[in-house]
Amino acid sequence: MVLSDGRFPSGAHAYSSGMEQSIAWHDVTGLASLEEFVAGRVATTGAMAAQVAAAASTLMTAATAPQQTIGLDALDSAVDARMASAASRAASRQQGHSWLRGARAVWPAELASASPLLMDRHAWVTLGAATAILGIDPQDAACLALHDLVSTLVWSAVRLLGLDPFEAAGILAGTLAGVETETRALAAEAVPATEALCLGRVETEWISWLAAPLSDLGAEAHAARAERLFAS
């Protein structure tokens, strides 16, 4: 519950995950278009987020230390391959660093030994691996990853467009409730698929390749802007 709370100091408030540029392009102008945008992101990037978080979680509980490194490296590479935008890749790793920093501040003893292993990784890889150390199962890790993705989009839109926060929270809650079953199913499928990584076989083709090309273009356009409120 602490990890899914917007007040957790993960640094997510500094990112919009493409929402700032989408608003600049007038793709998102209000609650209706925000809900459509969130649904599109969940159906594409959301699948990868859930699978990667669940896989990273499984690795930390089922693999030996050497295989954890090999497996997490493979997941990092898989995320790189599925993010066409260099700006998105950089932002994801920055978010991973911020998330780990926040988690270490709250649980220093639990995460002390694993911190070097989790440094400079993509956000969903870091989230999945760190939450496993804290005793959170892969399915809940997948839900946390999706919660983080959706809440970043929704609350950045509230700040940028001045939306009613209660109505925006309704979109957040409705979206997550609507996809929780599917997210848990994706996580359940990721667990046996991760067994190959635990054995040292680098097989990540099962991770979703669904993407949102316009978001990749938006990330590059956003990175080139002279004035911006968010880092992504």
On the question of pLDDT at 36 being above 90, the answer is: yes
Alpha helix stretches (DSSP H) within 112-164: 115-118, 123-133, 138-161
Residue 168 sits in which domain range?
15-219
> Is the CB of residue 121 less than 8 Å from the CB of residue 76?
yes
**Which range, of 56-65, 200-209, 218-227, averages the lowest pLDDT?**
200-209
Distance separating alpha carbons of residues 47 and 44, to the nearest angstrom: 6
On the question of pLDDT at 129 being above 90, the answer is: yes
Section 73-94 average pLDDT: 94
Using alpha carbons, select from 226, 170, 217 the residue that is nearest to residue 32. 170
Query: Does residue 156 lie in a domain region?
Result: yes
Query: Does residue 37 lie in a domain region?
Result: yes
Is pLDDT larger for residue 163 or for residue 204? 163
Q: How confident is the model at residue 89 (pLDDT cuts 50, 70, 90)?
A: very high
Query: Does residue 92 lie in a domain region?
Result: yes
Distance separating alpha carbons of residues 52 and 129, to the nearest angstrom: 10
User: What confidence tens digit (pLDDT) does each residue in 40-56 have?
Assistant: 999 999 999 999 999 99
- The CATH number given to whatever domain includes residue 120 is 1.10.4190
Residue 107 is predicted with a pLDDT of 87
Query: Does residue 87 lie in a domain region?
Result: yes
Residue appearing with tokens 């990890």: 3
Give the number of domains in the chain: 1
Query: Does residue 7 lie in a domain region?
Result: no
Mention every residue, 6+ apart, whose C-beta is less than 8 A from residue 42.
Answer: 146, 149, 150, 175, 179
Query: Does residue 166 lie in a domain region?
Result: yes
Query: Does residue 228 lie in a domain region?
Result: no
Query: Does residue 8 lie in a domain region?
Result: no
